[in-house]
Amino acid sequence: MHVFQLFINGHSLNSIEAVDTLLKICKENLDGNYKLEIIDIQKNPDKAEEAGIIAIPTLIRMEPAPVNRIIGALNVRSRVLAGLGISSMHVTA
């Protein structure tokens, strides 16, 4: 089970791109076996404060351990997959 938090800022270009890419990965590579929380810092700044977020977008992989962070618009899919530790071979039809 993969658990993610994705911090975005409203409808900024980078935010939209990151959400799109991540949703695609979740659907195509994780077979629906994931939990994703999308947090808009405009609406929920306290959460950004708690997590110490500086950059937007920031993706936090909470599980599996160890926790890691990817910042940026996530536009190079192969690197995102590598960063999240997801095998790109695992593609559902």
* Residues of the shown chain interacting with another protein in the complex, contacts defined by CB under 8 A: 7, 9, 12, 14, 17-18, 41-42, 45, 48-49, 52-58, 60, 66-76, 79-80, 83
According to DSSP, the β-strands at 2-8 and 58-63 are: antiparallel
Minimum distance, C-beta of residue 7 to another protein, in the bound complex (Å): 6
Minimum distance, C-beta of residue 47 to another protein, in the bound complex (Å): 10
Contact 30, 64 (CB under 8 A): no
Give CA–CA dist 12/1, Å, rounded: 29
Q: Which is nearer to another protein, 12 or 28 (CB)?
A: 12
Beta bridge partners of 40: 8
